Structure 1
Amino acid sequence: MQLSPVQKIENISSEDFIKTYLKPAKPVILKDFAAPESPAFEKWNYEYFKEIAGEHKVNIYGSEIESLDRIASKPIGQSTFSEYLDLITSSPTEHRLFLFNLLSIKPELKNDIIYNDVTKGKIIKWLPFMFFGGEGSVTRNHVDIDMSHVFITQFQGIKRIWLFPWEQSDLLYKLPYNFHSITNIKEPDFKEFPGLKYINGYEAVIQPGETLYIPSGWWHYIQY
């Protein structure tokens, strides 16, 4: 397996972004997709989230390594959102939230983000998601079921994301009739899955304020 670093850019025009990255389906990190003057960069922190939504019940998910051959992993427990934020603040943990979207509970938070929309209006601004995970948690290697273009903006902490084009799906051992790989790509078993020796992808490390563009149909393995 070989990984090349994803390029970081800023101040790109819509025309250049569409021609250089969107149409060729090439990942890139945009340093100014979420405008630096966005209120979110001042307001959003765990204490604020606990204040506005801390009592909401959330399902907690653990390591996905144990369920790579299953369609979906089951929650391992439940807590309040406030308790979960205390957990990921206090120590590394594999515990994640899945399909909990704070922006649907508090839609007014969407007004805290100002986009430098390099897509010329193609981005769906009314349908963003928010993701939470503890240091050390991962999201298994997968392709998004809706095959959408994705822009992941980091607000706290750091994410390391490995990316692979759809054309390498056979080498990644996709679970039949599903959208994720059955392999542990971080600790690959080349004897059982020899195709992993031949994959070529990208590695993106996104810092707070940066946005990773993931083209439609690209595999991505997310590490918090």
Structure 2
Amino acid sequence: MQLIPVQKIKKEVSRTFINEYMKPKIPVILEDFVDPESPAFTKWNYDYFKEIAGNHHVDIYGSELDSIDRVASQPIDQTTFSDYLDLIDSAPTEHRLFLFNLLNIKPELKNDLFYNDATNGKILKWLPFMFFGGQGSSTRNHMDIDMSHVFITQFQGIKRIWLFPREQSDLMYKLPYNFHSLSNIKKPDYRKYPALLYLNGYEAVLHPGETLYIPAGWWHYIQYETGGYSISVRALPSSFLEKWHGFKNLIITRNFDNMMRNIFKEKWFRYKVRIAHERGAKAAKKQRSFLI
């Protein structure tokens, strides 16, 4: 597996960003996608969040490696937002919040964000998501089901994100009808998953104020180097084919997989594992032939 650092850019005009990064699908870190003068950078902190929404109950998620046969992992516990913030502020923990939308609970917080929109109006500013995690927590390697472009901005703490193009799905042992990989790429077992040897991707280390652009359909594995939180906004895919893939994933593929899992249970999962290994072996053989 080979990883190269993601480039950082600043003050990029829309036309340049779209032509040089969005269209060719190249990940990049934007240093001022969210304006540094945004009130969020000085106003927001854990104490403030506890004051305005501390009594709100939140679902807690753990390690996703325990639920590789599901489209999304299930929450392992529930607590108050205030207690959760105390937890991640006090000690390393795998516990994290998934798609917790504090900005919908307290919509006035959206006014604390000023965007330098490099997409020429394509981002959905009205649909932000917040992600909280403790030091040592992570998400499994996955691609977003709706095929949108994603802009994830770090506000507190540091994240490390690995990215891979969709064309390398078979090398990561993508489970059929799902949108995550069977293999653990953080601690790769090259004997069990030899195709991982041929992966070529990017590594981004995201600090507060920086925004990572994740192209539509790209795989990403997110690790919390420290406890903290981020906000993501999306831009719809540009091409008709990508929009069709997103629609199909949301309406057809996901529901078909749920139906088959309910009918065949473990047998369906074993079938998907077998197909993932067969495709991985075929992809690895193809890569080896290129090297000869």
Q: Fold-level match, TM-score > 0.5?
A: yes
Cα distance in 2, alignment partners of residues 153 and 111 from structure 1: 16
Distance apart, 1:190 and its partner CA? 1.0
Residue by residue, what CA displacement relative to the aligned partner does 1:20-46 show, whole Å, maximum 9, x if unpaired? 101100000000100010000011100
Equivalent residues in 2 for 1:121-140, closer than 5 Å: 121-140=121-140
| CA RMSD, Structure 1 to Structure 2 (Å) | 0.8
Partner in structure 2 of residue 83 of structure 1:
83
Partner in structure 1 of residue 61 of structure 2:
61
Residue by residue, what CA displacement relative to the aligned partner does 1:45-74 show, whole Å, maximum 9, x if unpaired? 000000010001111111112222333322
Residue by residue, what CA displacement relative to the aligned partner does 1:126-149 show, whole Å, maximum 9, x if unpaired? 111111000100010000011000
Partner in structure 1 of residue 213 of structure 2:
213
Matched to 1:95, the amino acid is: H
The secondary structure found in structure 1 opposite 2:171 is helix
Distance apart, 1:193 and its partner CA? 1.0
Partner in structure 1 of residue 185 of structure 2:
185
Cα distance in 1, alignment partners of residues 17 and 60 from structure 2: 37
The secondary structure found in structure 1 opposite 2:203 is strand
Equivalent residues in 2 for 1:125-204, closer than 5 Å: 125-204=125-204
More off after superposition, 57-66 vs 160-169: 57-66
Cα distance in 2, alignment partners of residues 222 and 15 from structure 1: 29
CA contact (8 A) 1:68 1:183 kept: no
Residue by residue, what CA displacement relative to the aligned partner does 1:97-146 show, whole Å, maximum 9, x if unpaired? 11321111111111110000110011111111111000100010000011
Partner in structure 2 of residue 101 of structure 1:
101
The secondary structure found in structure 2 opposite 1:220 is strand
Cα distance in 1, alignment partners of residues 130 and 22 from structure 2: 23
Superposition misfits of 4+ residues, deviation over 4 angstroms: none
Cα distance in 1, alignment partners of residues 102 and 206 from structure 2: 21
Cα distance in 2, alignment partners of residues 127 and 72 from structure 1: 20
Matched to 2:42, the amino acid is: E
Higher percent of residues as helix:
2
* Residue ranges of structure 1 left out of the alignment (5+ in a row): none
Distance apart, 1:192 and its partner CA? 1.4
The secondary structure found in structure 2 opposite 1:155 is strand
* Residue ranges of structure 2 left out of the alignment (5+ in a row): 225-292
More off after superposition, 161-170 vs 58-67: 58-67
Cα distance in 1, alignment partners of residues 15 and 146 from structure 2: 25
Matched to 1:204, the amino acid is: A
